[in-house]
Amino acid sequence: MPRKVTKGLMLRMPPEMHQVVKDIAKEQGRSLNAEMVYRLKQAYAADGVKLAAA
Evaluate if residue 1 carries a pLDDT over 70: no
**What CA–CA distance (Å, rounded) separates 31 from 24?**
10
- Flag whether 19 is in a domain: yes
Does 54 have pLDDT greater than 60?
no
Mean pLDDT over 8-14 rounds to 93
Could you tell me if 24 and 35 are in contact, meaning their C-beta atoms sit under 8 angstroms apart? yes
The reply to whether 21 falls in a domain is yes
In a domain, 4, yes or no: no
Segment 16-52, tens digit of pLDDT: 999 999 999 999 999 999 999 999 999 999 999 988 8
Residue 20 placed within a domain: yes
Backbone angles phi, psi at 15, to 5 degrees: -55, -35
pTM: 0.80
Domain encompassing residue 24: 15-46
In a domain, residue 26? The reply is: yes
> Total domain count for the chain?
1
Q: What are phi and psi of 51, to 5 degrees?
A: -110, 155
Largest CA distance in the chain: 39
Residue 51 included in any domain: no
